[in-house]
């Protein structure tokens, strides 16, 4: 542990390790700068970030929420935690982006209270026109960027198109607090509502670019979704120099590509949209020619000691999870993509020694 990290941890422990620790405010500032959002609120997990964001944009029991079919069950479970129902949106063929047609069908069957794109493994491939249409129709967009904390878009940043960006700071994600998450938004009104959900329904006041709790607990609906200050302090130390973090992930991506190539099986990388100037940072997804090739590639990588998610968890569309399968959803493009995909966390590829992180 370096001196800086130790100092952050000491401060957080001295403050009782609660979510009111100074480290949390500092972490919110750094995450805001990293993602490019005016307001950042740290919470206790990526899941509570989604719950807080969805509640803040108006999702209530009985509502329908469009969710990327390629997201993990955690995304859908955040919707069901609010008593709302996930409606699975199919992807564009061969892409992690939402298909306009599937979204059109979902809105045709009834109003959507929000739509949740998920840049899985860090791949952002949303059609700007689809996002513009949602905006025009007043449908809030909550991006589950749990796997894309390093994503950078130009000329329009993600915070310019999303109502809320949700991060996970889980220990297996690129930026780690152990357990933790964050909501980022450019909307003062949404930041205010997210703070209330996080802080037992407290009223908030704006100081500069920050929302600060002011009134008594229970002024509005809320719970305790605060981050542990000790985890926040550790996480803060990882963001001392975001350049180092970004460079490390670029090296990991190179190492991962090489490992995929050495299997000798033909593959191409999942696409991302032209406005992506930096990948989200979580994983590498190889799309093979046939499901048999994908299975062979996964076996080779596993034999080489690489943790491959297709084998460990069988990456599959969300509606195949037992808790959602009763819906009878059909997402043929998502089924086809996952059948050809070999997906792996970048951190499964060890870097040559002496590379910190
Ligand atoms: C990890 C993850 C979550 C859940 O985050 P937690 O911090 O574990 O609650 C949600 N969505 C996606 C896409 C994730 O990868």
The enclosing domain of 328 has a CATH number of 3.90.1150.10
Do 148 and 13 share a structural domain? yes
Q: Rounded mean pLDDT of 92-110?
A: 97
pTM for the whole structure: 0.96
47 Cα–ligand 1 center, Å: 6
Q: What is the DSSP letter of 102?
A: H
Residue 52 Cβ < 6 Å to ligand 1: no
pLDDT value at position 355? Answer: 47
**pLDDT at position 102 over 60:** yes
Q: Which residue has the higher pLDDT, 353 or 25?
A: 25
pLDDT value at position 314? Answer: 72
Atom of ligand 1 nearest to the CA of 120: 13
Do 170 and 264 share a structural domain? no
Do 161 and 117 share a structural domain? yes
Do 59 and 167 share a structural domain? yes
pLDDT value at position 310? Answer: 60
Q: What's the pLDDT tens digit per position in 313-335?
A: 578 899 989 999 877 788 999 99
Give me the residue label for tokens 């929420």.
65
Q: What stretches of the chain show up as alpha helix (H) in DSSP?
A: 3-14, 22-35, 46-56, 73-81, 100-108, 128-136, 158-161, 188-198, 229-238, 242-261, 291-303, 309-312, 332-340
Which range marks the domain in which residue 298 is found? 242-355
Do 122 and 43 share a structural domain? yes
The residue from 238, 262, 297 where one domain ends is 238
Residue whose CA lies nearest to ligand 1 atom number 5: 46
Do 225 and 274 share a structural domain? no
Mutational pocket test of ligand 1: of 144, 227, 315, 344, the residue with most ligand atoms within 8 Å of the beta carbon? 144
The residue from 178, 207, 238 where one domain ends is 238
Do 109 and 246 share a structural domain? no
Q: Which residue has the higher pLDDT, 19 or 355?
A: 19
Do 301 and 253 share a structural domain? yes
Strand ranges of the sheet holding 85-89, from the earlier edge strand across to the other edge: 85-89, 64-68, 114-116
The residue from 238, 262, 291 where one domain ends is 238
Give the mean pLDDT of the chain.
93
Q: What's the pLDDT tens digit per position in 138-193?
A: 999 999 999 999 999 999 999 999 999 999 999 999 999 999 999 999 999 999 99
Residue 181 Cβ < 6 Å to ligand 1: yes
3-class state of residue 230 by DSSP: helix
Do 272 and 127 share a structural domain? no
72 Cα–ligand 1 center, Å: 8
Strands 152-153 and 276-278: what pairing?
Answer: antiparallel
Atom of ligand 1 nearest to the CA of 173: 1
Residue 144 Cβ < 6 Å to ligand 1: yes
181 Cα–ligand 1 center, Å: 9
Q: Rounded mean pLDDT of 236-258?
A: 94
Q: Which residue has the higher pLDDT, 32 or 312?
A: 32
Residue 222 Cβ < 6 Å to ligand 1: no
Do 252 and 208 share a structural domain? no
Q: Rounded mean pLDDT of 191-200?
A: 97
Q: What is the DSSP letter of 15?
A: T
Angle at 132 (CA atoms; ends 80, 48), nearest 5 degrees: 25
Confidence class of residue 311 from pLDDT cuts 50, 70 and 90?
low
Residue 75 Cβ < 6 Å to ligand 1: yes
pLDDT value at position 356? Answer: 46
Do 164 and 24 share a structural domain? yes
Give me the residue label for tokens 């700007």.
128
Residue 170 Cβ < 6 Å to ligand 1: yes
Confidence class of residue 357 from pLDDT cuts 50, 70 and 90?
very low
pLDDT value at position 329? Answer: 82
pLDDT value at position 194? Answer: 98
Q: Rounded mean pLDDT of 21-45?
A: 96
CB 105 within 8 A of CB 333: no
Q: Domain total for the chain?
A: 2
Q: Rounded mean pLDDT of 83-106?
A: 97
Do 297 and 210 share a structural domain? no
pLDDT value at position 351? Answer: 74
The enclosing domain of 18 has a CATH number of 3.40.640.10
Atom of ligand 1 nearest to the CA of 78: 10
């Amino acid at each position: 542990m370096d001196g800086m990290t130790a100092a952050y941890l000491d401060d957080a422990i001295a403050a009782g390790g609660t979510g009111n620790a100074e480290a949390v405010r500092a972490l919110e500032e750094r995450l805001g700068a990293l993602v490019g959002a005016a307001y950042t609120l740290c919470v206790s997990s990526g899941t509570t970030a989604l719950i807080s964001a969805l509640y803040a944009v108006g999702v209530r029991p009985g509502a329908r929420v469009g969710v990327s079919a390629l997201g993990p069950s955690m995304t859908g479970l955040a919707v069901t935690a609010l008593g709302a129902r996930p409606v699975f949106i199919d992807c564009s063929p061969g892409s992690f982006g939402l298909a306009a047609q599937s979204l059109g069908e979902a809105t045709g069957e009834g109003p959507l209270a929000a739509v949740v794109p998920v840049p899985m493994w860090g791949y952002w491939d949303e059609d700007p026109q689809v996002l513009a249409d949602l905006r025009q129709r007043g449908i809030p967009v909550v991006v589950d960027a749990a796997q894309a904390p390093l994503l950078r878009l130009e000329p329009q940043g993600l915070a310019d198109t999303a109502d809320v960006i949700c991060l996970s700071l889980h220990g297996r994600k690129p930026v780690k607090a152990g357990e933790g998450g964050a909501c980022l938004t450019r909307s003062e009104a949404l930041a205010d509502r997210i703070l209330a959900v996080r802080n037992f329904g407290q009223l908030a006041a704006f100081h500069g670019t920050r929302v600060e709790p002011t009134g008594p607990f229970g002024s509005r609906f809320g719970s305790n979704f605060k981050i542990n200050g000790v985890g926040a302090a550790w996480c803060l130390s990882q963001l001392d120099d975001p350049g180092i973090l970004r460079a490390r992930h670029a090296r990991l991506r190179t190492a991962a590509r090489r490992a995929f190539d050495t299997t000798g099986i033909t593959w191409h990388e999942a696409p991302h949209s032209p406005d992506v100037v930096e990948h989200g940072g979580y994983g590498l997804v190889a799309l093979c020619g046939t499901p048999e090739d994908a299975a062979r590639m996964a076996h080779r990588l596993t034999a080489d000691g690489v943790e491959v998610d297709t084998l460990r968890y069988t990456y599959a569309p969300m509606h195949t999870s037992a808790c959602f399968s009763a819906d009878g959803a059909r997402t043929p493009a998502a089924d086809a993509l996952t059948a050809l995909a070999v997906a792996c966390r970048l951190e499964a590829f060890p870097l040559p020694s002496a590379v910190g992180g």
